[in-house]
Structure 1
């Protein structure tokens, strides 16, 4: 019996060691983002953009809105659940006054339902507002990418539910990037995407600049 108990104990220790050895998704990337921002410096009360690669690759973001200090903590390939997991190092510790969030695109591609995504976004919003109720939060709609056009209906459903959530939640606004990226035939404008037809080129971000400009009050 003692031997059996000892073996069970060893098995338990092995399980614990295995669990702690597992790498948390995006942990290294989040550490690099923090290192970069702290090296370059930042202002408390800035406007912070976070989310997946459409945010990470927005290289002209600060230049597009020069009157506002911007922090970009976008991390490519992320889902809402990833942002929820890394919310403190990517958002809360910087004490922003405004937060723009782009998540849901990769979630739909991964097979998650709009309801599951909204649940994660709701928890993210709640945690931000608990820390600072005065923080303005903006949820960005999923964009219409040619490479993911087969999931059009899922994206439209997500955008619909995201908009409804924002309308009933105080301090949260919806940013619609879908409509401006659709042509007269109701299809994505392929010329605003790079070769992979998923990520945007400069023309795509120029359109985004127009949309987001409405959410930056004039100084």
Structure 2
């Protein structure tokens, strides 16, 4: 009986060690900030805050909660291609430390080929990380009935060492209490987005 208990205990300790090593390895692959001074939210209307009353977009909410300035570099209507075109001025010239990237929704609406969308996102991530800044990649759905973007977002985040928050509009999109129009959140919806981003942003800021 004692022998079985001892073996069981050793197995549990070994399993804990393996899991700890696994999670350490996963964390080591993440690219934390290597310099820079600014936190920037970069993207489309969801970053700009279309549908929110003044001060209730998720960028303003996070800035207030964390007591830290966050540059809002959102522009309504931007596709990943449009974002790439203004990346230098909007992000790279601002001494970035952490960049929240939220793009892809307009690509889906315009039925831009998925390969082009994620090629642009990869380039955006590479160029931001090339400046020593960390990237928090925000996932959006690639369709209403099915999410053709989910695996691609997860894959490039893992490959690039970006921090990743999947499907930011999950349970917001289509919920009349949380949206201001068919595709944009209201104040409550943006607050929920901030809830999902805040713990990841705080973790990256602490490094």
TM over 0.5: yes
SS in 2 for 1:142: coil
Structure 2 match to 1:208: 193
State whether residues 41 and 70 of structure 2, in contact with CA within 8 Å, keep that contact through their aligned partners in structure 1: yes
Q: Quick one: distance in 2 between partners of 1:77 and 1:119?
A: 19
Deviations 1:133-166 (A, max 9, x none): x31101111159xxx73xx32xx12122111110
Go from structure 1 to structure 2 and tell me whether the alpha carbon gap of 1:178 and 1:86 turns closer, same or farther (over 3 Å shift): closer
Go from structure 1 to structure 2 and tell me whether the alpha carbon gap of 1:141 and 1:167 turns closer, same or farther (over 3 Å shift): same
Go from structure 1 to structure 2 and tell me whether the alpha carbon gap of 1:97 and 1:118 turns closer, same or farther (over 3 Å shift): same
Deviation of residue 106 (structure 1)?
0.4
Deviation of residue 180 (structure 1)?
4.2
User: TM-score with structure 2 length normalisation?
Assistant: 0.70
Structure 2 match to 1:163: 154
State whether residues 139 and 166 of structure 1, in contact with CA within 8 Å, keep that contact through their aligned partners in structure 2: yes
User: TM-score with structure 1 length normalisation?
Assistant: 0.67
In structure 1, the gaps of 5 or more residues are: 1-43
Does residue 1:128 correspond to 2:128, yes or no? yes
Deviations 1:48-97 (A, max 9, x none): 00111011016432343332220001000000000111111111010110
Aligned length: 161
Structure 2 match to 1:175: 165
Runs of 4+ in 1 over 6 A off after TM superposition: none
Structure-to-structure mapping, 1:48-127, within 5 angstroms: 48-57=40-49, 59-60=55-56, 61-66=59-64, 67-127=67-127
